[in-house]
Structure 1
Amino acid sequence: MTISKGLRKTAVRGALVLSLAALAGCSLFSRSDDRYRPAKLTDFTQEMEVGTAWTVSVGRGGGVGFAPAVTDTAVYAAAADGSVVKMDLASGNVQWRASVDGRLQAGVGSDGQTTAVVRPDGEVVAFDDTGTEKWRAKATSEVLIPPAVGEGLVVVRSGDYRIQAFDAQTGERRWSMQRPGPSLALRAVNQMLIAGGFVFSGLPGGKLVAMDTNNGAVLWEGTVAVPRGASELERVADVVGAPVVSERLLCAAAYQGRIACFDVSAGGDVVWARDFSGASGMTVDASSAFAADSHGIMNGFLLSSGTNVWRQDALANRRLSAPASYGRAVAVGDYQGYVHFLAREDGRLLARTATDGDPILAPLVATPYGVVVQGTGGSVRLLTTGG
């Protein structure tokens, strides 16, 4: 992962938060409208074997604010009941468990040295890498997405559209940046990214920003979506998932907006953009970008040009997670706890495996050992493939 220094040369009120189901007119599972009915699982010729290397019960509960954090050797995860766990990536052996008094609203963020979670009142709780609590600090309002941890910072985005950075060692607030936002925002799985001296974050309203880790100054801002429509509901156009970096490209997808890549070496110019309504985020590999749209249609794009090379509608309306590119496949989870593996080159179904039946909202994470999956019930597992 590289970030060009060229980007550095370019220099409220709380929102009513809506779920994707609300924006679909609460008809996602309506018996009277087949347009929103989840597609039934179809038979296909399985071309790939999928196994489970390990499974760990982290705790009880999860949701859009929970996602695993993965380093070279470990997986960190949290559950709504206050549990925080570090697992060995290769074996799944639990290396430590910690517990926060009361429940959690969001987590987990970790760089392998500091691990952070957030309570419902906006209190950020940080642990060292033995599972010992280091500090607590208060965000200005509730936090609905996992903290980002890296480069000596713990960064949170609160519901008042403020992004705040705390010192990873002491919990002292280092900087704060706030932008005005719309009165309606989408409650979807979102994440920030820290890389190359920048904090990258999508914002409600379709903006993607890059901030200096030193002081929070906004060095670049790009438009992924332009809100349109006669009503506030129609104008909801939020960046979903996590921004993705691949060499000189910074990419993101938005609900009721676009999927787009920007050239960070050239001051953030748009390389390509396509009309697209994302629901859960995207992933990239060396040559392709992959994302599910808000109807559960999986798409494959050429990373260089944005050309849409395939669409797969077999998983329509199955509330797909953000995908992970792993080997010759793209893996994606659904609302019934299935993980589907699609061919990178044409999107055909290669394999399917069941987990524990809990919805998979968290983005899947590809690692050298397999694909890390966290369900809303509080379990984390590593899936491996062969064939």
Structure 2
Amino acid sequence: MQLCKILLPGLLSMVFLSSCSLFNRDEGAATVSPLPKITNQFTLTKIWSVSVGSGTNDYYSYLRPTWQGSSLFAADRKGLVKAINLDTGKEIWQKNLSEKTTFTMKNRSAMLSGGLTVKGNNLYVGSEKAIVYALHTDDGRVLWETPVAGEALSHPVVSDGLVLIHTSNGMLQALDEENGAIKWMLNLGMPLLSLRGESAPSTAFGAAIIGGDNGRISAVTMKQGQLIWQQPIAKVAGASEIDRLNDVDTPPVVVDNIVYAVAYNSNLTALDLRSGQILWQQEIGSVNDFIVDNSRIYLVDQNDRVVALKAEGGLNLWSQNDLLHRNLTAPVIYSDDYLVVGDSKGYLHWINKSDGRFVAQQQVDSSGFLSAPIIADNKLIIQAKNGTVYAFARIGGQKTEI
């Protein structure tokens, strides 16, 4: 059984359906931090915004855009996929992957999930209906669609001619990049209770490195799908079942033959890429993607602390605690100097990488953010839960009081 992480961190809702719906409720044990008051050090300029269907609305989904060249690709959960000019926000094409029902002739949601991936002329996206699609980047026509072993909650990863999909039942599958044929599949194991979400694999030296709902990191050969090594990084502890959840739902990061991975309710861990041996561990948990950059690790933990640590040894460098329980997105680095996170109230927060101080803040969309921003050609792109995609750039110099 999977648990769905809902808007208030630390609270989870049991789910018996194929998808998780978010809902309003009284805020209980966790207190949402008030909006910090800051002086903006620069102005955030909206270049354009465009609506892409109805977004994810009240569903827990990490569906987010991707880009290549001058084109941005975005989708909504129901199945609308759009290609957008990155500079102007003008629509290039759209494709609807939803299906009309026989009797009502209304479109049935395609339930897209996990995020878009683009490589060459192919755009890939998976669905909660256990289908992976490949679309042509020029016009959106469907090149192939392949049923997979379970809900495709993670974004597809393309490497070595394969499209890798980690499904909700713990299966890692490799599809042929050109025709979608299943080349191999591997069962990574599945506990009785887990968070809703799956780790996308990272690839290095002909291997796929992936986290599992059982708290383990696995290295798998790309060609045959054979297990190279497997290492548990989480310690099961706590009085309740929820306390003992130890899923690895974020993609591991591989830098200089070291694998960095983080588990919910547990540890940030560095492992040797070749052997899987644990090099060090730091007690910090997260379900958000994290960044390894210039010998530093940046992450948002499960209580919405934004943290910087040394990549060697995991020593804490700074912690920004003024956004607790605001349901932050994963961070992204902008202009080399700043971390940017969104929150469930629709604010963007810009944080100095060197010391964790706030440098800018702006409310963008009242529906809020769940999926992380991306950086595309020096523009910050983020999709709100209602489907609106925004493109921002920064104007330096002036200070604006908020």
User: For the superposition of Structure 1 and Structure 2, which TM-score range results when normalised by the shorter chain?
Assistant: 0.7 to 0.9
- Does residue 19 of the first structure (1) align with residue 1 of the second (2)? no
Matches within 5 A, 1:295-306: 295-306=303-314
For residues 82-135 of structure 1, give each alpha carbon's deviation from its aligned partner in whole angstroms, at most 9, with x where no partner exists.
111233444444333211023223132222422222343212221122211011
Task: Describe the SS at the equivalent of 1:36.
Answer: coil
For residues 136-159 of structure 1, give each alpha carbon's deviation from its aligned partner in whole angstroms, at most 9, with x where no partner exists.
111122222222233322222222
Q: How much has 1:22 moved relative to structure 2?
A: 8.4
Matches within 5 A, 1:132-211: 132-188=141-197, 190-211=199-220
Q: How far apart are the structure 1 equivalents of 2:213 and 2:71?
A: 32
Task: Describe the SS at the equivalent of 2:290.
Answer: strand
Matches within 5 A, 1:24-63: 24-25=10-11, 33=28, 36-62=30-56, 63=60
Aligned residue type for 1:154:
V
Aligned-residue identity in percent: 25
Aligned residue type for 1:197:
G
Matches within 5 A, 1:351-366: 351-366=360-375
Unaligned 5+ runs, structure 1: 1-14
In the superposition, the TM-score normalised over structure 2's length comes to: 0.84
Say how many residue pairs are matched.
Answer: 371
Residue of structure 2 in register with 1:381 after alignment: 390
Residue of structure 2 in register with 1:292 after alignment: 300
Q: How much has 1:318 moved relative to structure 2?
A: 0.3
Work out whether residues 59 and 79 of structure 1, in 8 Å CA contact, stay in contact via their aligned partners in 2: yes
Larger mean CA deviation between 76-85 and 58-67 belongs to 58-67
Q: How much has 1:233 moved relative to structure 2?
A: 2.4
Larger mean CA deviation between 341-350 and 148-157 belongs to 148-157
Residue of structure 2 in register with 1:5 after alignment: none
Residue of structure 2 in register with 1:105 after alignment: 112
Aligned residue type for 1:243:
P
Q: How far apart are the structure 2 equivalents of 1:140 and 1:297?
A: 35
Q: How far apart are the structure 2 equivalents of 1:261 and 1:90?
A: 39
Residue of structure 2 in register with 1:319 after alignment: 327
Residue of structure 1 in register with 2:289 after alignment: 281
For residues 289-318 of structure 1, give each alpha carbon's deviation from its aligned partner in whole angstroms, at most 9, with x where no partner exists.
111111111111112331111111111100
Of the three residues 265, 272, 277, the one matched with 1:269 is 277
In the superposition, the TM-score normalised over structure 1's length comes to: 0.87
- Taking a change above 3 Å as real, the CA distance of residues 339 and 301 of structure 1, as seen in their structure-2 partners, is same
Residue of structure 2 in register with 1:11 after alignment: none
Q: How far apart are the structure 2 equivalents of 1:94 and 1:199?
A: 35
Q: How much has 1:205 moved relative to structure 2?
A: 2.0
Q: How far apart are the structure 2 equivalents of 1:72 and 1:303?
A: 32
For residues 206-258 of structure 1, give each alpha carbon's deviation from its aligned partner in whole angstroms, at most 9, with x where no partner exists.
22223222121222333332222344322211113322233333222211011
CA RMSD of aligned residues (A): 2.6
- Taking a change above 3 Å as real, the CA distance of residues 140 and 26 of structure 1, as seen in their structure-2 partners, is closer
Aligned residue type for 2:137:
D
Q: How much has 1:32 moved relative to structure 2?
A: 7.1
Residue of structure 1 in register with 2:351 after alignment: 342
Residue of structure 2 in register with 1:95 after alignment: 92
Q: How far apart are the structure 1 equivalents of 2:225 and 2:291?
A: 26
